[in-house]
Structure 1
Amino acid sequence: MTISLSEFFSFLAESPALVITVLLTLAVVLVNGWTDAPNAIATCVSTRSMGPKNAILMAAVCNFLGVFAMTAVNASVASTIYHMTDFGGNTQEALTALCAALVAIVTWATAAWRFGIPTSESHALIAGLSGSAIALHGGLQGINPAEWVKVLYGLLLSTLLGFLSGWISARMVAAVCRNQDRERTTPFFRKAQIAGGAAMAFMHGAQDGQKFMGVFMLGIFLAKGQDTVTAFQIPLWLMILCSLVMAIGTSIGGYRIIKAVGMDMVRLETYQGFAADLAGAACLLLSSLTGIPVSTTHTKTTAIMGVGAAKRLSAVNWNIVKEMILTWILTFPGYGLIGFIIAKIFMYIF
């Protein structure tokens, strides 16, 4: 099942609830663009392979292409997010609970951005939806365990595999260039980092764009009073809309996040930055093709940790790492609780 652009505008004019849902969903996509996407270009900026403005512009374009291209090839990540929670039953209450989850995500993500802490909007989305679904049903029957297992796989994939692939990638690059003059290889790795940053931004759009489009479709169906839709096709106009909004969010810039990830955590050389981008992009591609929703933030930051650890453990600023890990640990219960509370409040008011 899908919906044409004309049908969407027609129903938008008739449903104030859908207008609010669409605005909140696009707000989450925008926030994701400026708080999550900067992780993709943090390394090429920190090693001065690109200036911040050019890197952000490149990331905006590649995010757009990633959303569009990967969704056209494989939309399984969107399907996973759509089916992860059960918003069936009273569609008006379900739509209210969904809006509560989106409000929770925007609130938490903006606060974290203010303090320069890289958060995962992917896990925020998952936790917020889960908390709201639990509030809607009054219990865990609002959660689909089969789809949630994929989330747990994604958590392991984006952390353990990210770190391991970063370590291996850095070791391999160092071994291949062991007998090369470092000054002569630097120009090559600067260009390679630009390509690596572009690949990371592309895969960020491919992963995160699908997640939010799945939520967008859920909101449309609930607003139409349809809570039994099990299969859907993402329309072309929605791919373009979400990718454009994410690109705008990225173009706003995320200098605090770039500094925290690319400069404060590990001081990277150009070859190390390339190794981190290579590892991160490979992990995201694998997860996107297999339909596993992962965090681009976790994948990129753990890849950078792995690259730093490949040189020596002391090369990593573990105090910054502790702050990030604490934020990641608090994401699921924090967003889930906020989503639950706001959903209860919204359902009481509306």
Structure 2
Amino acid sequence: MEAALVVFVVALALGFDYTNGFHDAANAIATSVSTRALTPRVALLMAAVMNFVGALLGTEVAETIAKQIVDLDDTGSHAALVVVVCALVGAIVWNLITWWFGLPSSSTHALIGGLVGAGLAGGMTVFWSAIVDKVVLPMIISPVVGFGFAFLVMLAVLWLFRSAAPAKTFRRFRIAQTASAAAMALGHGLQDAQKTMGVIYLALLTAGWADPDAGIPLWVKLSAAAAISAGTYSGGWRIMRTLGRRIIELDPARGFVAESVSALVLYVNAFALHAPVSTTHTITSAIMGVGATRRLSAVRWGVAKNIVLAWVSTIPAAALVAAVTTWVLSPILA
């Protein structure tokens, strides 16, 4: 039974990784597609490749997910695996709901909410201090930094190119967006694929199938990278329309700045802080920041409000689904 649960966790985690890919594909490419810097298919292929590469660049975020959200060390392996299964169900259900309504919510926070909800329902210890430091504070700070830094950088770009011919300048920024979109996709793989690695690694550690001193196995890294890449290539058109067009009509310069700032925030959090931040929150706030340089009314704040509501509700909603799933499945899988 335990072996079957481990296999099921791996399959479910890769399924979550796939939904993460098509749910968050818009993060990397919506701005480039909306400004016509890249065609949708080319953008998706590029994002899939860069997601794969980014997934293999580090494991710090995966270690945070595996060891600093819920304490499963003092729990029986069977009960711990049930908790992981229910956490993944909560995250996947919330991903599908928000994808259906075209809301760019956070797959990161859906997974963390799922772990917290399933852990509490299963009687596990939750590392609240680590969640505050690694999740809540970055969740608040990263969008603020993304908005403010994108706003300032865009002002600098407008000043530097104030005398340039608009048509020629936009052509150059469309070319530059190829690089900024690739950097954003790399950051997405670096952040989001690692979360799936962390869940699989957590299940393997729980069952005694992995050596905690040896780190995350190579097959886990490759499978997580492949799943998110496949999901990315399958597309995320509903959310792409929200990010690329409904918040603000982007031009190539603003698209380039939003992507570049977002990529920088993702890299800092992954490599320096080891914090699992939301790529969705980061790029959305950066888009709002560059849009606000045009004029505050240029940003469709009604759409932005709906997005923020989805952000705020993600962790508790995924936690609730995971908790209910735990209460239902625990007697069945006992």
The normalised TM-score by structure 1 is: 0.90
Cα deviation, residue 147, structure 1 = 4.7
Cα deviation, residue 244, structure 1 = 0.9
Corresponding residue for residue 249 of structure 2: 267
* 1:66 and 2:48 are equivalent in the alignment: no
Preserved contact between residue 45 and residue 55 of structure 1 (Cα < 8 Å):
yes
Corresponding residue for residue 84 of structure 2: 98
* 1:323 and 2:309 are equivalent in the alignment: no
In the aligned structure 2, how far is the partner of 1:236 from the partner of 1:22? 14
Aligned ranges 1:1-350 → 2 under 5 Å: 15-68=3-56, 70-71=57-58, 75-83=59-67, 84-88=69-73, 89-137=75-123, 141-224=125-208, 231-290=213-272, 291-350=274-333
In the aligned structure 2, how far is the partner of 1:240 from the partner of 1:234? 11
Q: In structure 1, what residue type is equivalent to 2:129?
A: P
Preserved contact between residue 167 and residue 306 of structure 1 (Cα < 8 Å):
yes
Q: In structure 2, what residue type is equivalent to 1:119?
A: S
- Secondary structure class of the residue paired with 2:293: helix
In the aligned structure 1, how far is the partner of 2:145 from the partner of 2:108? 17
Q: In structure 2, what residue type is equivalent to 1:313?
A: L
Cα deviation, residue 144, structure 1 = 4.6
In the aligned structure 2, how far is the partner of 1:146 from the partner of 1:112? 27
- Secondary structure class of the residue paired with 1:137: coil
Q: In structure 2, what residue type is equivalent to 1:185?
A: T
Corresponding residue for residue 3 of structure 1: none
Runs (5+) with no aligned partner, structure 2: none
In the aligned structure 1, how far is the partner of 2:60 from the partner of 2:128? 16
In the aligned structure 1, how far is the partner of 2:160 from the partner of 2:327? 57
Cα deviation, residue 46, structure 1 = 0.5
Preserved contact between residue 94 and residue 314 of structure 2 (Cα < 8 Å):
no
Cα deviation, residue 273, structure 1 = 0.5
Moved beyond 6 Å, runs of 4+: none
| Greater CA drift, 42-51 or 84-93 | 84-93
The C-alpha deviation readout for 1:122-167, integer Å capped at 9, x for no partner, is 00111110111111216xx333523542112220232111111111
Q: In structure 2, what residue type is equivalent to 1:128?
A: G
Q: Over aligned residues, Cα RMSD in angstroms?
A: 1.7
Cα deviation, residue 230, structure 1 = 5.8
Q: In structure 2, what residue type is equivalent to 1:111?
A: I
In the aligned structure 1, how far is the partner of 2:197 from the partner of 2:295? 41
The C-alpha deviation readout for 1:306-343, integer Å capped at 9, x for no partner, is 01012210110111101101111111111111111111
In the aligned structure 2, how far is the partner of 1:34 from the partner of 1:187? 29
The normalised TM-score by structure 2 is: 0.95
In the aligned structure 1, how far is the partner of 2:26 from the partner of 2:307? 15
The C-alpha deviation readout for 1:158-212, integer Å capped at 9, x for no partner, is 2111111111121121111111111111111001111111110000000111111
Query: What is the aligned length?
Result: 330
Q: In structure 2, what residue type is equivalent to 1:235?
A: P
Structure 1 residues 122 and 86: alpha-carbon distance in aligned structure 2, compared to 1, 3 A threshold = same
Cα deviation, residue 231, structure 1 = 4.9
Q: In structure 1, what residue type is equivalent to 2:299?
A: V
- Secondary structure class of the residue paired with 1:61: helix
In the aligned structure 1, how far is the partner of 2:175 from the partner of 2:115? 40
| Greater CA drift, 229-238 or 128-137 | 229-238
